[in-house]
């Protein structure tokens, strides 16, 4: 079936272009297949959305990076103001989408109440699924894909956060830090995870449990991208200090915005052949995203 064959287009991320791991594969699906997946996504979300923990803000309606940035800044500012220690570990999963074991995923979905014809419909999208790679207009032979979620499929995000929610629940302990009248043990944005604890030994225990559950679920922690709390760190692409301040990030964005504005003035604003409307369109798409106000644009 054409729905079961995806065209993988490698997208370069950063680093050496000769290294395969520096590319992210986006799977292009047929239009009927994407419409079908969107219908399934809406039905699944009605079931699992009320069950997923508040700590997960990735791929959820009405939530975004702003929520976690506010929470993390508040936790750090409170810790600094009241001299209460907080230890954090930023955990990143290696090739998260590509490593999800499908047999484990089906079991997780059943635990969350996705059963009967609905789960069989999801499985039908992955049965005998194949992919081929397209580079510079040339296509490879198709090959079977037996593990992982489809990159670019409307259904994949809700499947992934449900899968991650089960890992988070099973690794949950009694540690955590107080914020806003509740105890926070972790913050999740899809596969970006922050573990929080008042003591370093508590954090070690949390990380150990989380790593164990990840391994049991077929996932792997990326040691190169995971890090513990330092004086300055980036979370969801925003630069923080250990006091929860973002002045360095604002200064960085002001500098970037100024550079973009100068470039636009030289290449766009001075062009008399462009009317005001396309100039404004270019401004909104390029300059507005680099300005300090764009810090709040992650929702």
Concatenated DSSP letters of the chain: -GGGEEEEEEEE-SS-TT-GGGEEEEEE--HHHHHHHHHHHHHHHHHHTTTS-TTB-TT-TT--HHHHHHHHHHHHHHHHHTT---EEEEEEBTTHHHH--HHHHHHHHHHTT--HHHHHHHHHHHTT-EEEEEETTEEPPPEE--SSPPTT-TTHHHHHHHHHHHHHHHT--S--EEETTEEE-EEEETTEEEEEESSHHHHHHHHHHHHHHHHHTT--B-TTT-EE--SEEEETTEEEETTS--HHHHHHHHHHHHHHHHHHIIIIIT-TTS-HHHHHHHIIIIIHHHSGGGGGGG-
First to last CA, the chain: 36
**In this model, does residue 83 exceed pLDDT 70?**
yes
Overall average pLDDT of the 74-80 stretch? 78
Q: pLDDT of 21-41, one tens digit each?
A: 788 888 888 888 889 999 999
Nearest-angstrom CA–CA distance, 148 and 162: 14
Averaged pLDDT for residues 189-208: 90
pLDDT, tens digit, for every residue of 177-186?
A: 887 788 899 9
Question: What does the H/E/C string look like for 227-285?
Answer: EECCCEEEECCEEEECCCCCHHHHHHHHHHHHHHHHHHHHHHHCCCCCCHHHHHHHHHH
Contact 228, 87 (CB under 8 A): yes
Which of 27-36, 63-72, 144-153, 273-282 has the weakest average pLDDT?
273-282
Q: What is the pLDDT of residue 299?
A: 40
Q: Return mean pLDDT, the chain.
A: 83
Parse the chain into domains and list their residue ranges.
2-245, 248-298
CATH of 2-245, one of 3.30.2000.10, 2.40.50.140, 3.90.1850.10, 3.40.50.1980: 3.90.1850.10
Q: Which of 221, 194, 155, 164 is nearest to 73 (CA)?
A: 194
Residue 105: is it exposed, middle or buried by C-beta count within 10 angstroms (0-12/13-18/19+)? Answer: buried
Contacts 24+ apart (CB under 8 A), 283-287: 286/260, 287/257, 287/260, 287/261
Residue 72 burial (10 A CB sphere; 0-12, 13-18, 19+): buried
Take residue 52 and report the two structure tokens written for it: 């997923």
pLDDT of residue 298: 41
Of the ranges 38-47, 136-145, 191-200, 261-270, the best mean pLDDT one: 38-47
92-96, 100-104, 143-147, 176-180: the lowest-pLDDT one? 176-180
Looking at residue 36, what is its pLDDT? Answer: 92
Closest CA to 153 of 40, 43, 65, 57: 40
> Is the pLDDT confidence value at 8 over 70?
yes
The residues near 117 (Cβ < 8 Å, ≥ 6 apart) are none
Q: Of 15-19, 28-32, 94-98, 283-287, which gets the smallest average pLDDT?
A: 283-287
In terms of pLDDT, which residue wins out, 43 or 296? 43
Place of tokens 């573990």: 195
Does the pLDDT at position 293 exceed 50?
no
**Which tokens belong to 80?**
């600094």
For residues 103 and 273, give the distance between their C-alpha atoms in angstroms, rounded to a whole number: 58
Least confident of 96-110, 155-169, 230-244, 263-277: 230-244
User: Could you read off the pLDDT of 208-251 as tens digits, one per residue?
Assistant: 999 999 999 999 998 777 777 644 556 556 666 555 455 665 66
Compare 9 and 52 and report the one with higher pLDDT: 52
Whether 296 has a pLDDT exceeding 70, the answer reads no
pLDDT of residue 30: 85
pLDDT over 80 (residue 255): no
| Candidate ranges 190-204, 205-219, 253-267; pick with highest mean pLDDT | 205-219
């Amino acid at each position: 079936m054409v729905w079961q064959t995806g065209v993988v287009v490698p997208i370069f991320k950063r680093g050496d272009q000769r290294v395969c791991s520096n590319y992210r594969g986006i799977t292009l699906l047929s239009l009927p297949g994407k419409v079908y997946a969107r219908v399934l996504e809406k039905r699944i979300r009605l079931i699992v959305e009320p069950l997923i923990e508040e700590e997960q803000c990735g791929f959820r309606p009405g939530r975004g990076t702003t929520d976690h940035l506010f929470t993390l800044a508040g936790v750090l500012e409170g810790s600094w103001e009241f001299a209460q220690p907080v230890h954090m570990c930023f955990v990143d999963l290696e090739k998260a989408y590509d490593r999800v074991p499908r047999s484990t995923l089906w079991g997780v979905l059943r635990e969350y109440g996705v059963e009967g014809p609905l789960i069989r419909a999801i499985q039908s999208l992955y049965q005998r699924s194949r992919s081929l790679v397209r580079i510079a207009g040339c296509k490879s032979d198709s090959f079977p894909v037996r593990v992982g979620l489809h990159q670019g499929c409307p259904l994949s995000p809700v499947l992934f956060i449900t899968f991650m929610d089960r890992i988070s629940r099973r690794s949950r302990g009694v540690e955590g830090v107080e914020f806003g009248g509740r105890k926070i043990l972790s913050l999740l944005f899809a596969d970006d995870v922050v573990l929080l604890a008042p003591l370093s030994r508590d954090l070690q225990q949390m990380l150990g449990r989380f790593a164990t559950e990840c391994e049991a679920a077929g996932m792997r922690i990326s040691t190169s991208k995971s890090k513990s709390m330092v004086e300055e760190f980036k979370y969801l692409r925003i630069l923080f200090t250990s006091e929860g301040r973002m002045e360095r990030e604002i200064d960085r964005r002001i500098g970037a915005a100024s550079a973009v504005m100068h470039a636009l003035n030289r290449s766009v604003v001075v062009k008399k052949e462009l009317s005001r409307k396309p100039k404004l369109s270019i401004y909104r798409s390029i300059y507005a995203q680099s300005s300090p106000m764009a810090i709040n644009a992650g929702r």
